[in-house]
Amino acid sequence: MSILVVGSIALDTIETPTDRREDVLGGSATYFSLAASHFNPVLLVGVVGTDFPEEGIQLFHSHDIDLAGLQQVDGKTFRWSGRYHADVNVRDTLDTQLNVFESFSPAIPVQYKSASHLFLANIHPALQLEVLDQVTDPRVVIADTMNLWIESSSDQLREVIERTDIFLLSDSEARQLTEESNLLLAARRLLSWGPEHVIIKKGEHGAMLVNDGGTFFAPGYPLETVVDPTGAGDVFAGGLTGYLSRSDTVTDDRLRQAVIYGSALASYNVEDFGPERLKDLTMDRVVERVNHFKSFTTF
Ligand code: AMP
């Protein structure tokens, strides 16, 4: 099994109520890959500029992330900047500079095309469709999005959703996309557009999985200190996809377990800036938190 991801690779500037960091390694594909690499080989497709630091490349190498699909082109790497409020669930985007991402066209290397699991991270839905047209029948297609694409490219996004097995989005995005304020009804509407499963991410309040079999809720892992929530959604997706890639089929049980693995990994990621906490995270520590989830949800 192998996991193909196409998404952004970024240098982020992050402001929290108490701190500020510049040029932190980020991007949806970066966070996803570091999390998913705990489970199976990850094949990364994305673009960076000539300013992309060698430490970033080394970090990918140290997690055995395959970079044959990483384009390095003249120009600056994609940059994003955000500020968190005291309530860390609230974030303002301060700046987005597409830079080399503006002319990015995902070219899937021939040896990646038969990957068993495909994650379409948060990028323009037109690019997500380009990827879908290049791969050969992956077992599982998982996709994510963001408010920007809901506002600017909803028709293309609908097409992506139709071709997706598991669709992930945040609670506010689910409400915005479906124009339905009740989350369960919003999830049901999304299911009627094609995917077999919908997962609604609710930040520190956890995640909700909805499919024909019913509904499953995972709480957020209770943490006393959250340093930087950037990338939590992508790390969640990496843990979820990674866990699913360890077996041939997506059963409801496996999917529920995958949601918990994703949540455990995401809970580590928010404990430090950027992907810092993921650098030397071991599977033993992840499993420790998976077991805590059991203890605080059993009654
Ligand atoms: P999350 O906190 O899960 O929403 O992910 C944050 C990451 O998404 C950051 O590292 C950003 O670099 C990246 N990001 C922000 N805006 C965009 C965008 N328009 N397209 C692609 N990636 C983005």
Between the CA of 141 and the centroid of ligand 1 the distance, in Å, is 20
Q: What is the pLDDT along the chain (299 residues), one digit of tens a residue?
A: 999 999 999 999 999 999 999 999 999 999 999 999 999 999 999 999 999 999 999 999 999 999 999 999 999 999 999 999 999 889 999 999 999 999 999 999 999 999 999 999 999 999 999 999 999 999 999 999 999 999 999 999 999 999 999 999 999 999 999 999 999 999 999 999 999 999 999 988 999 999 999 999 999 999 999 999 999 999 999 999 999 999 999 999 999 999 999 999 999 999 999 999 999 999 999 999 999 999 999 98
Between the CA of 27 and the centroid of ligand 1 the distance, in Å, is 5
Residues 6+ apart with CB under 8 A from 221: 263, 264, 266, 267, 289, 292, 293
- Per-residue pLDDT, 89: 86
Q: Which two tokens stand for residue 96?
A: 């987005």
- Rounded to whole angstroms, how far apart are CA atoms 95 and 53? 21
Between the CA of 251 and the centroid of ligand 1 the distance, in Å, is 30
Residues 164-215 have pLDDT tens digits of 999 999 999 999 999 999 999 999 999 999 999 999 999 889 999 999 999 9
Strand positions, DSSP E, 144-237: 166-170, 197-201, 207-211, 214-218
Whether residue 119 contacts residue 3, with contact meaning beta carbons closer than 8 Å, is answered with yes
Residues 6+ apart with CB under 8 A from 263: 206, 207, 218, 219, 220, 221, 236, 239, 293
Using CB atoms within 10 Å of the CB of residue 134, give its burial: 0 to 12 exposed, 13 to 18 middle, 19+ buried: middle
What is the atom index within ligand 1 of the atom nearest the CA of 78?
A: 12
- Per-residue pLDDT, 185: 98
Name the residue ranges covered by the structural domains of the chain: 3-297
Residues 6+ apart with CB under 8 A from 49: 72, 73, 74, 75, 76, 77, 99, 100
Between the CA of 238 and the centroid of ligand 1 the distance, in Å, is 14
Return the best residue to mutate from 6, 8, 123 for the ligand 1 pocket (most ligand atoms within 8 A of CB): 8
Give the largest CA-CA distance in the chain: 57
Phi-psi region of 226 (alpha: psi -120 to 50; beta: other; left: phi over 0): beta
DSSP 257: H
What is the atom index within ligand 1 of the atom nearest the CA of 233?
A: 3
Between the CA of 99 and the centroid of ligand 1 the distance, in Å, is 14
Any idea of the CA torsion for 230, 91, 6, 239, to the nearest 10 degrees? Answer: 50
Return the best residue to mutate from 47, 122, 153, 227 for the ligand 1 pocket (most ligand atoms within 8 A of CB): 122
- Rounded to whole angstroms, how far apart are CA atoms 175 and 130? 26
Any idea of the CA torsion for 197, 243, 132, 194, to the nearest 10 degrees? Answer: -10
Between the CA of 134 and the centroid of ligand 1 the distance, in Å, is 24
- Per-residue pLDDT, 18: 93
Handedness of CA 151, 102, 193, 266 (dihedral sign): negative
Residues with CB under 6 A from ligand 1: 8, 10, 12, 26-28, 80, 96, 122-123, 148, 230-234
- Per-residue pLDDT, 274: 98
- Per-residue pLDDT, 239: 98
Residue range 3-297 in CATH 3.20.20.70: no
Whether residue 238 contacts residue 36, with contact meaning beta carbons closer than 8 Å, is answered with yes
Return the best residue to mutate from 24, 28, 147 for the ligand 1 pocket (most ligand atoms within 8 A of CB): 28
Q: What is the per-residue DSSP string for 4-45?
A: EEE---EEEEEE-SS-EEEEEEE-HHHHHHHHHTTTS-EEEE
From the list 11, 277, 32, the residue with the least C-alpha distance to 142 is 32
Angle subtended by helix axes 252-269 and 283-297, to nearest 10: 110
- Rounded to whole angstroms, how far apart are CA atoms 291 and 276? 23
For residue 3, CA distances in Å to 13, 131, 137, 190 come to 28, 14, 13, 24
DSSP 249: S
